[in-house]
Structure 1
Amino acid sequence: MDIGLAVPQFGRFATLTSVLAVARGAEDMGFAGLWAGDRLLTPLQPKDRYPGGDGTMPEAHRVFLDPFAVLSVAASATSTVRLGTSALNACWYPPPVLARSLTTIDHLSGGRLVAGLGLGWSSDEYAAVGVPWKGRAKRYDATLDALEAIWSADPVSFEHELWTIAPSHIEPKPARRPPLYLAGFTKQALCRVGRRADGWLTATLPIPMLTAMWKTVCRSAEEAGRDPGTLRMALRANPDITGQGNPPRSGTVAQICDYLATAAEAGVHEVILDLQHTATSDQHLLELAGEFKARLFSST
């Protein structure tokens, strides 16, 4: 199992110093990837519950850096670690703009991009960027179609009721077609992963639920004539490290690692650790990351 780390991006870690220190430290420690998320605003009276904890958005998310910017900085400070998004809210961006931003990171990093996309969960954020909440799944599929066209064709031509790309050169192209990971937990989302993605972005679910969802992904891949053995499952963990807790959301490092080791046995290929909710400094974050890595490598 590979182990990735969330790049500093929010709360006390939303600084250039933190991005550089953690990116360099993670690569030096042998982490497989650095991953960035996508958050736009913190509504005072949210229409939707945050999908974690008690449903309240973490206070640290009031300050949240742009994912393309932090990955660009991380790319400049590293040379081998993969650079991923977990996950971009794909519908916020016109496809040529999204393709340009992702391809720029891939181009400047020498082909290290993993493009992780999702639908998001906040209708307030959709309203803020002027994108309809209704019909977002249809927009999402069209965005994926447009990205594939932009990344693979020259000249590019794309016709849809939402966008028209006249026959054009859109360059540079990625060093290779970036691995595409998709997030989601509904049956529709899981089937989409199986039909057209390279991996599934998931979270710290109960193991039976996780394996049942993965079976849906694999079955969808088989029905689409694809080899499910080529797909990867990447699990994001945002633990609160405490003396006593409720793993996998909280607990000691050893307790969280026990869950993650079980997840690896259940088929998880990569863990993405986000330690920004629990670490108190860059050094503390890297120390925790090192402890996780040492324990997980000894148990998997």
Structure 2
Amino acid sequence: MRLGVTVFATDVSMPIADLARAAEERGFSSLYVPEHTHIPVSRRTPPAAGQVELPEEYRRTLDPLVALSFAAAATERIGIGTGILLAAQREPLVTAKAIATLDHLSGGRFVLGVGFGWNVEEIEDHGVPYARRREVAREHVLAMKALWSQDVAGYEGRHVRFEPSWSWPKPHRPGGPPVYLGGAAGPKLFAHIAEYADGWMPIGGRGVKAALPALREACEKAGRPMASVIPFGTVPSREKLDYYAGLGIEETVLQLPSANADIILTSLDNYTRYL
């Protein structure tokens, strides 16, 4: 099973290019970074992970696509990805161009992890009603996939409309990079995955085994192969990783602390025992 890593890359954490090189040198398969465009100070929405106070790295997060361009330029083999990109908060024409450029220049190493978001006020500041964020994200991803896969692409939806257009470069891989959706198991998420994604990124990986039959059923109903599953932000143990491998999971992404180089490199070195 391949092992990747994820970290909240910020302006005060270990430089992303240095981290990417260190992860590649140690044999990790991928590096993922998350996204928050901003964090409104009102803090009406409590932290999604249940913390009493939202950790500082949420307000200092680098733009993921810009950060990953530095990671790609500093490395040769390691996969780079978003874990996750908030698709409902991004204009799809510009984002499609940025992702296609990054995948093209990196030689097809980019993976698009997409999430719907949990911070109500952050989402609303982008003009997106919280209750509609899933349908907005869906149209944004479908519109981007059209731009990546067609020489002339247009889109006519409820939330996205643009006339038939040219948009190059195309991603390195025909049709665009793999798309994974993050979120808790459930029929709505699995229906989205079956329709327009390649797989599921369950945060932490808890409850994966129990959810697999429902995901398989959703994929079969859509007439497509079973989606891939990448447990994401996992704190590893040998037993846990062996358990995932026994489920047929081919990649797990391990959580790194958002910290300076000394702390992150220590964590990376500790994780090498699982490679």
Query: TM-score, normalized by length of structure 2?
Result: 0.90
User: Which portions of structure 1, spanning 4 or more consecutive aligned residues, are displaced by more than 6 angstroms?
Assistant: none
Question: What is the DSSP-based 3-state SS (H/G/I as helix, E as strand, rest coil) of the residue aligned with 1:194?
Answer: helix
Identity %: 30
Q: Distance in 2 between matches of 1:172 and 1:54?
A: 42
Q: Which position in structure 1 is the counterpart of 2:265? A: 286
Asked if 1 retains the 8 angstrom alpha-carbon contact of 2:44 and 2:121, the reply is yes
Q: CA deviation at 1:225?
A: 1.1
Q: 1:8 offset after TM fit, Å?
A: 5.7
The correspondence of residues 1-300 of structure 1 with structure 2, limited to 5 A, is: 1-6=1-6, 9-10=9-10, 12-13=12-13, 18-54=15-51, 56-176=53-173, 177-185=176-184, 186-206=186-206, 209-228=207-226, 231-237=227-233, 239=235, 256-277=237-258, 280-294=259-273, 296-297=274-275
Shift of the 266–126 alpha-carbon distance from structure 1 to 2, 3 Å rule, reads: same
CA 1:284/1:146 → structure 2, altered by over 3 Å: closer, same or farther? Answer: same
Aligned residues: 272
Shift of 1:257: 4.1
CA RMSD of aligned residues (A): 2.0
Q: Is the 8 A contact 1:157 1:166 kept in 2?
A: yes
- Structure 1 residue 11, shift from structure 2 partner: 6.5
User: Structure 1 205/48 Cα, relative in aligned 2: closer, same or farther at 3 Å?
Assistant: farther
Residue 205 to residue 108, structure 1, CA distance change in 2 (3 Å): closer
Which string of whole-angstrom CA distances, capped at 9 and with x for unpartnered residues, describes residues 225-262 of structure 1? Answer: 1121xx321112264xxxxxxxxxxxxx7xx4433332
Distance 1:8 1:204 in 2: 15
CA contact 1:149–1:157 (8 Å) conserved in 2: yes
Report the Cα offset of residue 164 of structure 1: 2.0
Q: Are residues 194 and 159 of structure 1, via their aligned partners in 2, closer, same or farther at CA, if it must alter by over 3 Å?
A: closer
Letter of the structure 2 residue corresponding to residue 193 of structure 1: I
State the TM-score, normalized to the length of structure 1. 0.83
Residue 199 of structure 1 aligns with an amino acid whose one-letter code is: G
Kept in 2: contact 1:116–1:201 (CA 8 A): yes
Q: Is the 8 A contact 1:118 1:184 kept in 2?
A: yes
**Match of 2:230, SS?**
strand
The alpha carbon displacement at 1:55 in A equals 5.6
For CA contacts below 8 A with separation 6 or more, give which structure has more relative contact order.
2
